[in-house]
Structure 1
Amino acid sequence: MRADAFLAAAEALPVRDLRDLVGPGGLVVVAPHPDDESLGCGGLIAEACARGLSVRLVVVSDGVGSHPNSPSHPPERLRDLREAETLAAARALGLDAVHVRFLRLPDRFVPSAGPAAEAAADAIAAAARESGATALFVTWAHDPHCDHEASAALARLARARLGPVRLHAYPVWGWALPPGTEVGPAPRGARLAIAAHLPAKRAAVAAHRSQTTGLIADDPGGFRLEPAMIARFAQPFEIFVEVDPEVESEVDPEVEP
């Protein structure tokens, strides 16, 4: 199926209750970079926290690829800033800092196989066991970014360690795919209504100031989320596509973190 038809179909998926997505237990959100959780799953996290579900957030990369040439924010300082922003975003959504884990894998070089990938999958699986998770949420394997593709692979590895746990994908950079890109079968899954949580979601996205403002002004090639991209995720629903256990991805990783 072409990407344009797939995404149009995803926007028309039926609206389901949170429990229909998650099942009887808790959930883990896997974010390739600090901010992906707020963009793709901010409403999900807020709804789950409001309803008392056990939620864990695992941030895979260190996020330092967003401003690689900033004199004022060398890698360690940028990493610390992006983690602080993530914790502020989590608070806005109702999630305590103690339930957020940073794996600090190298931005733009997150592995999908090998010892580091296995360790990351172990960490995701441990978060799932800790929270009694019956569902994992991770970025769509066809998102055109190498770290998003790798994170999808890590979530599949984690699910293999957990047994019958649901796996859902949320598109982030997939909306930027060329329309004719082949992405596989038509989507199955659901939309979650999040209108009640839009103020919290906006606050969470805005907490990522290094990605949404000119906070870091000394890297001409630094990354910044465009207003149109932010607006894309300010809709009254979020999309979650069911991931088949057999799914494999073939992605051209070219989009900024």
Structure 2
Amino acid sequence: MGLLDEIVPGTAMILAPHADDESLGCGGLIAASCAAGRPPLVVIVTDGAGSHPGSPTWTAARLRARREAEAEAATCHLGLPPARLAFLRLPDTRSPHAGAGFETAVETLSSLAGEHGCDTILAPWSHDPHCDHESVWKMGLALSRREQMRLLAYPVWGWLLAPEIELDTGVLTGWRFDVTPFQSRKALAIQAHESQYGELIADDPNGFRLPNELLEVFASPYEVFLGP
């Protein structure tokens, strides 16, 4: 059994809070799974329309369409069939943590998992310091309990936590997955998210921009997946 089979024995459902998280945290694994003949289902949870709220030219609707087009281009670089990409379109920065909206999202994810034969969930790490990432981790946890599915975590923003911050994580276990054979594909996928680099949308001085220190993390030849 190879390491890919150990991490994802069957078919994965990858929950990405925003378009780009799938490429940053799981791009190599997505490409490896597609090459192995069992493409995952990638679900982009929020609409991504909140990254440049001060832009007079990039309305929420225009930005939403752009973010989805970027996700389609990125996952195409990774070899993912278009039918294996889904969008929940929940509001960016306001993904629910509980309540009716949360339950509806979990119900939708449950239907998608059954439709696409998923048996393992990959969700953002519970300690990623972003409200949408925390929300999507909770969705993954609720879905895993509801459907008795295996749940793994992948860090994104957690890589930038200050070393002196103490976290109640217990003993962490997991895998370092070598993505060297797919590193060039992953780089192309990350670059496809042009709206998040700062050059495409130049009329919002306070708009979001992927920080260089985060991009440097995901230029490494491995990805990390944490067990329960």
Residue number among 7, 15, 22 corresponding to 2:8 in the alignment: 22
Structure 2 letter corresponding to 1:52 = G
SS at match of 2:50: helix
* Pairing 1:42–2:27 present: yes
* Pairing 1:162–2:147 present: yes
Q: Would you say the 8 A contact 2:160–2:214 is kept in 1? A: no
After TM superposition, give the deviation of residue 226 of structure 1 in Å: 2.1
2:110 aligned partner: 125
After TM superposition, give the deviation of residue 44 of structure 1 in Å: 0.5
1:147 aligned partner: 132
**Whole-angstrom distance in 2 between the partners of 1:54 and 1:205:** 18
**Whole-angstrom distance in 1 between the partners of 2:74 and 2:39:** 17
TM-superposition CA deviations, 1:29-78 (whole Å, max 9, x none): 00001100000000010000000114101111111111011111110100
What is the count of residue pairs matched by the alignment?
A: 226
Where does 1:1-257 land on structure 2 (aligned, <5 Å)? Answer: 17-23=3-9, 25-163=10-148, 165-183=149-167, 184-243=169-228
Q: Would you say the 8 A contact 2:180–2:222 is kept in 1? A: yes
Q: Structure 1 residues 227 and 178, CA, compared in 2 at 3 Å: closer, same or farther? A: closer
TM-score, length of structure 2 as denominator length = 0.96
Q: Would you say the 8 A contact 1:54–1:133 is kept in 2? A: no
**Whole-angstrom distance in 1 between the partners of 2:216 and 2:133:** 20
Q: Would you say the 8 A contact 1:125–1:159 is kept in 2? A: no
Between the aligned residues of both structures, percent identity stands at: 45
TM-superposition CA deviations, 1:221-245 (whole Å, max 9, x none): 01111222112101111000012xx
SS at match of 2:119: strand
Structure 1 letter corresponding to 2:163 = P
**Whole-angstrom distance in 1 between the partners of 2:102 and 2:161:** 26
Structure 2 letter corresponding to 1:176 = L
After TM superposition, give the deviation of residue 121 of structure 1 in Å: 1.1
TM-superposition CA deviations, 1:190-237 (whole Å, max 9, x none): 111110000100000000000124100000001111222112101111
After TM superposition, give the deviation of residue 130 of structure 1 in Å: 2.1
**Whole-angstrom distance in 2 between the partners of 1:82 and 1:53:** 25
After TM superposition, give the deviation of residue 98 of structure 1 in Å: 1.5
Structure 1 letter corresponding to 2:157 = W
**Whole-angstrom distance in 2 between the partners of 1:56 and 1:92:** 15
Structure 2 letter corresponding to 1:189 = G
Give unmatched runs, 5+ long, in structure 1.
1-15, 244-257
SS at match of 2:12: strand
**Whole-angstrom distance in 2 between the partners of 1:242 and 1:208:** 28
Q: Would you say the 8 A contact 2:28–2:182 is kept in 1? A: yes
Structure 2 letter corresponding to 1:175 = W
